[in-house]
Amino acid sequence: MMKRNVNRMLSALLIISGLTFFSCTKSNPDGDKKVYHAGNGAEPASIDPHIATGVPEHHIMVALFEGLSSPEPKTLAPSPGAAERWDISDDLKTYTFYLRKDGKWSDGTPVTAQDFVFSWMRSLAPGLSEYAYMLYPVKNAEEFNLGKLKDFSKVGIQAKDDHTLVVTLKAATPYFLTLLHHYSTWPVPKATIEKYGDWNDRNNTWTQPGKIVSNGPFKLKAHELNKKLVVERNPNYWNASIVKLDEIHFYPTTDLSSEEREFRTGKLHFTYEIPAHKVQKLVEENPEETRITPYLGTYFYRFNVTKKPMNDVRVRKALALTVDRESLVKNVTRANQVPAYSFVPPDTAGYTSENRLDGNIDDAKKLLAEAGYPEGKGFPKVDILFNTHDLHKDVAVAIQQMWKKNLGIDVGLNNQEWKVYLDTEKKLNYNVSRAGWIGDYNDPNTFLDMFTSYSGNNRTGWKNKEYDALIGKASITGDQKERYSILQQAEKMLIDNMIVLPLYTYTVKHMVSKKLTGYHDNILDTHMYQYMDLKE
Amino acid sequence: MLKFVLKRLLQAIPVLLILMTLTFVFMRAVPGGPFDSEKQAPEEVIAALNARYNFDKPMHVQYYFFMRDLVTGDFINWPSFKYSNQTVLSMIAPQLPRTVELAIYSMIYALLIGITAGVIAALKKNTYLDYGPMSLAMVGVCVPSVLMGPLLALVFGVWLEVLPVAGWDSWAHKILPTITLGSAIAAYVARLSRGGMLEVLNQDYIRTARAKGVPENKVILRHSLKGGLLPVVNYTAPAMAGLLGGSFVTETIFRVPGIGRFYVESVFNRDYTVIAGITVLFAFFYIGSNLIADVVTVLMNPRLKFGAKT
């Protein structure tokens, strides 16, 4: 009896395992199709343009959707997208977009001006999009998003007819067109969304395969959670004739070394990243396919100006002057990063900072002595806060050594898990905190407006009315040159007061197959798939 | 036997309730929430998001909602905070079978290799057939999958180009993850079965069997294995649960679209609903596999009886 039971159990186990083993399917080769295989970092949290927030999501949505204007692939200059042309009023406050008559959704229905009105209402719906602020330059948009205004018809976007869209801005915003390259401003299909749930429900399932309708060069074909997401050519796209790729497969590659091995074995045409320790080797061995280019982002340290000793500008300056950025990028980060002495990356839409803190190590020692800590004596115990990551640790250790060597002060390291770190930083429970900032759009404003006293991204405790006024003034200045000179003044305040310690400008690191054409490096790391092709 | 199983299942209920309460407390005690991000949305927006998911309610009310949904089974329809168009069920359903599949392969691999090596080592005690596999087993226990995985991928995927380095499509994709995940278990099984066999082979009844002229292969297969492998059976249940919950590293290295990877990431994302959902699921697995192991142990050991006080 007992033996039979065991035997039965064993045979059942064998049969089950046998079945699962042989039920696995063989992978299909791509056949005649041109399939672009791309490593994409992480499983996309959402491909709903009004809910998504990350870079992997962006890579996919660029294929699926198109805004009113679309970036030119090399320069990222605004070029026609869903709108074939636009007029801008003399006071730069009114934009009239003329939508193309042949613009269609992937289900064949026309893309209309009303679609954009609905989409922007959705993007601005209170409690839906974390990126709603991208549309704040539009008249009354902020009020609607914050729930102070209930009537959307008072917001500055109106459909004059099916193909004419009039947008009224709060103030002249010279970079407004580049904001339209951000997914939070892209159109979404009203009928589809309402079919699968409430228009302002975050958990609406309209983006699932078989349901989603989009207006970009590609449409969603399949999505297997955590495995891959497949888009295929959208025949209803207005410019479908230039699209050469048949499909794009996006893989969630969380392990960078594994991703690099997949690239080496020819399984991937594109890697989301390159592991930092491999950069030098790959640059030497495979320079043709290793792309290291500047990125619109700054790696920096925040100072908590509300806590001793960082509330003393002399201390902050002394610390800043004793960081050897050249050595940091050469010996620690080692991926061609550019040492940063100002906060806005060089040549951000033609803006290059004129600000930097001058001085040498002796000046730094003097400043520290003036602050009451000669030779670092009596310096309180402080920590460098950073989120768990090898690179952040290496940088922190290097800076810890620089401060010890040059100023004689001992700082500790405080390593925290990502969300804990965010919480600590937000509550100003730190002294010095590692940070990074990637521009949302190609304009210095995306870097400088974060240190206004009312910005949730400030997180330094620094509140300065004069700085707020400068940023406010810049946002209503139409003349680009004048606006940049105001922003220069603002950035000078930031650097002179040493609120943040810029360390280096980020670089984008990808392996890109030599078979891939129509791929262009650019500072926003935005790549338009409709121009790409695969050559044998 | 039915009474035994029922009793064990009833005992599981308070265990599950306590586990879920602890999960709730720990989840909420850790700083940071699902909507914290480096680019902070305006406070009003965060407040509206929190209200949408009842995070603005007092803790005891949230706890009530949480336990109510768990008890009624509604938790499988909870939306994920991170993956906006997914629910707990839609995330677990496609991914769990792959993790289970990988765990089963790894267990079969571990048992085949481990028992064979262990039994041979026990029979050829103190010869090279003992020292060889046992030293290898020692290495197997010591080499972590973070090292084993990339090494295997490098050798078989990149250098020899015989197996894919990552993915989960054909049977070939499943070999390296199986070896990576199963090796430590195989090594442990080898040591356990060697020890178990050595003990049994010294028992009187084996000597009696041999004295009565039972052929050696029968002595081993029929009389010794059953007793000698008892430690292995006892170890299999927690090992299986460990394989299911601990496949994170292997799944990440080989891009296996399984639940282990999501479980760990859901904690980083503070995706409360998904954390709770997978925790309940793993708790069921753990309780279930321990129960099965206990039943099998009793069935294999004539000296034990169901319901007997031990």
Mean pLDDT of B192-211: 88
Nearest chain A Cα distance for residue B171, angstroms: 6
The structural domains of chain A, with segments of one domain joined by +, span 8-251+512-534, 296-507
Per-residue pLDDT tens over the stretch A234-247: 999 999 999 999 99
Of all residues in chain A, the one with the smallest CA distance to B98 is A20
Inform me whether the pLDDT recorded for B237 exceeds 70.
yes
- What count of other Cβ atoms lies within 10 Å of the Cβ of residue A357? 17
Q: Strands A533-534, A516-517: parallel, antiparallel or unpaired by DSSP?
A: antiparallel
Cβ–Cβ < 8 Å for A57, A252? no
Q: Strands A228-233, A218-224: parallel, antiparallel or unpaired by DSSP?
A: antiparallel
Does B291 touch chain A if contact means CB atoms closer than 8 Å?
no
C-alpha span between B129 and B115 (Å, rounded)? 14
**Edge-to-edge strand order for the sheet containing A94-99?**
A83-88, A94-99, A164-168, A157-161
Nearest chain B Cα distance for residue A188, angstroms: 15
Q: How confident is the model at residue B284 (pLDDT cuts 50, 70, 90)?
A: confident
- What count of other Cβ atoms lies within 10 Å of the Cβ of residue A135? 25
C-alpha span between A436 and A301 (Å, rounded)? 8
**Beta carbons of B252 and A258 less than 8 Å apart:** yes
Say which amino acid occupies B162: V
Encoded tokens for A89: 């009023």
Q: End-to-end CA distance of chain A, in Å?
A: 65
Nearest-CB residue to A420 (from B32, B44, B255): B32
Inform me whether the pLDDT recorded for A4 exceeds 80.
no
Q: Which range (A151-160, A382-391, B275-284) has the least confidence?
A: B275-284
| pLDDT for position B35 | 84
Q: Which of B50, B84, B96 to mutate to test the interface with A (most CBs of A within 10 A)?
A: B84
Q: Which of A79-88, A448-457, B192-201 has the highest mean pLDDT?
A: A79-88
Contacts of A48 in chain B (CB under 8 A): 84-85
A470-476 long-range contacts, Cβ below 8 Å, gap at least 24?
A471/A445, A474/A445, A474/A448, A475/A137, A475/A171, A475/A173, A475/A445, A475/A449, A476/A171, A476/A172
**Beta carbons of B171 and A43 less than 8 Å apart:** no
CATH superfamily entry for domain A8-251+512-534? Periplasmic binding protein-like II (3.40.190.10)
Of all residues in chain B, the one with the smallest CA distance to A440 is B39
Say which amino acid occupies A106: S
Per-residue pLDDT tens over the stretch A525-536: 999 999 999 997
Instruction: Write the DSSP symbol of residue A355.
Output: -
Inform me whether the pLDDT recorded for A478 exceeds 60.
yes
Q: Which residue has the higher pLDDT, B31 or A323?
A: A323
CATH C-level class of A296-507: alpha beta
C-alpha span between B182 and B187 (Å, rounded)? 9
Inform me whether the pLDDT recorded for A105 exceeds 60.
yes
Inform me whether the pLDDT recorded for B309 exceeds 60.
no
Does B84 touch chain A if contact means CB atoms closer than 8 Å?
yes
Nearest chain B Cα distance for residue A519, angstroms: 25
C-alpha span between A521 and A193 (Å, rounded)? 35
Nearest-CB residue to B37 (from A48, A126, A130): A130
Contacts of B91 in chain A (CB under 8 A): 225
Nearest chain A Cα distance for residue B260, angstroms: 11
Of all residues in chain A, the one with the smallest CA distance to B33 is A419
Cβ–Cβ < 8 Å for B84, A51? yes
The full DSSP string for A470-529 is HHHHHHT---HHHHHHHHHHHHHHHHHTTSEEEEEEEEEEEEB-TTEES----TT----G
Q: Strands A338-339, A411-416: parallel, antiparallel or unpaired by DSSP?
A: unpaired
Contacts of A45 in chain B (CB under 8 A): 82-84
Question: Taking all residues of chain A, what is their mean pLDDT, rounded to a whole number?
Answer: 91
Q: How confident is the model at residue A29 (pLDDT cuts 50, 70, 90)?
A: low
**Beta carbons of A27 and B170 less than 8 Å apart:** yes
**Beta carbons of B43 and A456 less than 8 Å apart:** yes
* CB hemisphere CA count around B247 (13 angstroms): 35
| pLDDT for position A25 | 37
Measured at the alpha carbon of residue B220, what is the angle toward residues B219 and B224, in degrees to the nearest 5? 90
Say which amino acid occupies B30: V
**Beta carbons of B41 and A132 less than 8 Å apart:** yes
How far, in Å, are A181, B7, B13, B219 from residue B10 at the CA level? 58, 5, 6, 41
**Beta carbons of A426 and B40 less than 8 Å apart:** yes
Contacts of B90 in chain A (CB under 8 A): 225
Contacts of B84 in chain A (CB under 8 A): 45-46, 48, 51, 202-204, 207
Inform me whether the pLDDT recorded for A16 exceeds 80.
no
Q: How confident is the model at residue B308 (pLDDT cuts 50, 70, 90)?
A: low
Per-residue pLDDT tens over the stretch A114-124: 999 999 999 99
Inform me whether the pLDDT recorded for A6 exceeds 80.
no
Inform me whether the pLDDT recorded for A250 exceeds 60.
yes
C-alpha span between A331 and A472 (Å, rounded)? 40
**Closest Cα to residue A273, out of A35, A24, A41, A482?**
A41
Nearest-CB residue to A147 (from B44, B174, B257): B44
C-alpha span between A466 and B192 (Å, rounded)? 73
Strand partners, A437: A298
**Beta carbons of A419 and B30 less than 8 Å apart:** yes
Contacts of B173 in chain A (CB under 8 A): 27
**Edge-to-edge strand order for the sheet containing A228-233?**
A35-39, A247-251, A228-233, A218-224
C-alpha span between A42 and B268 (Å, rounded)? 13
Contacts of A254 in chain B (CB under 8 A): 252, 255, 261
Encoded tokens for A511: 């392996």
Does B198 touch chain A if contact means CB atoms closer than 8 Å?
no
Q: Which of B27, B90, B154, B255 to mutate to test the interface with A (most CBs of A within 10 A)?
A: B255
Say which amino acid occupies A102: D
| pLDDT for position B234 | 84
Per-residue pLDDT tens over the stretch A359-379: 899 999 999 999 999 999 999
Q: Which residue has the higher pLDDT, B77 or A243?
A: A243
Q: Which B positions 140-169 lie with beta carbon below 8 A of chain A?
A: 150, 153-154, 157-158, 161, 164-169
**Beta carbons of A419 and B255 less than 8 Å apart:** no
Does B91 touch chain A if contact means CB atoms closer than 8 Å?
yes
| pLDDT for position B73 | 85
Inform me whether the pLDDT recorded for A64 exceeds 90.
yes
A361-370 helix and A390-407 helix, angle to the nearest 10 degrees:
80
Does B44 touch chain A if contact means CB atoms closer than 8 Å?
yes
**Beta carbons of B37 and A265 less than 8 Å apart:** no
C-alpha span between B37 and B199 (Å, rounded)? 58
Encoded tokens for A134: 């991208």
| pLDDT for position A130 | 83
